[in-house]
Chains A and B, each alone.
Chain A
Amino acid sequence: MNFINPAAFWALLTIGIIVLLYFLKLKRQKKVISNLFLFNRMLVDQKANRPFQKLRRNLLLLIQILFLLLSIMGLSRPTFIKNIFSNYNYIILIDSSASMMATDDGESRFERAKERATEIISNFAESDMAMIISADTKTYIRAPLSRDKRALKKNIDTLEPTETPTNLYDAFTVIMSALKQKKIDKIYVISDGANVGLEQLAEERNITKDNFPEVEFISIGKGSDNVGIVDLDINATGNNRENLQVFARIVNFSNEPKTTDVELYNGDDLIDIKEITIPAQENYPVIFDDARLEQGLITMKLSIDDKLEVDNTAYAYMKKPESIQVLMVTKKNMFLENALRVNPVVSLTKMNPFSYDEKSDYSSYDVIIFDSFFPNVTPKTNILLINSEAAPLNILKRVSADGKTAREELPNIIDYDKTHPIMKYINFENTVIAKSTYFSTPGWMQKIVEAEDSTLIYAGEKLGRRVILISFDLTESDFILKSSFPMFIYNSMIWLSDHFDKKSSSYSRTGDSIRRKVYEQDIIEVTTPESDVIEVKVFNDEFFFDNTKWVGLYTTKGADGFEDFFIANLLSEKESDITPSPFIKIGGKKIKPTSKISVRKELWKYFVIFAIIFIIIEWWVYHRKVFY
Chain B
Amino acid sequence: MPVVTIASPKGGAGKSTAAVILGTELAHAGAAVTMIDCDPNRSLTLWSDQGDIPPRIQVLSDVGESDLIKTVKQHDQDGSIVIIDLEGVASRLVSRAISQADLVITPMRGTTLDATIGVRALQLVAEEEEALDRSIPHAVVFTMTRNIRSKQHNGIEASLREQGVDIIDPSLIERAAFAALFEFGGDLRTIPPQGNMETAQANAQGFAEAVYARLRGEAGESAA
A and B: interacting chains: no
Chain A residues packing against B (C-beta within 8 Å): none
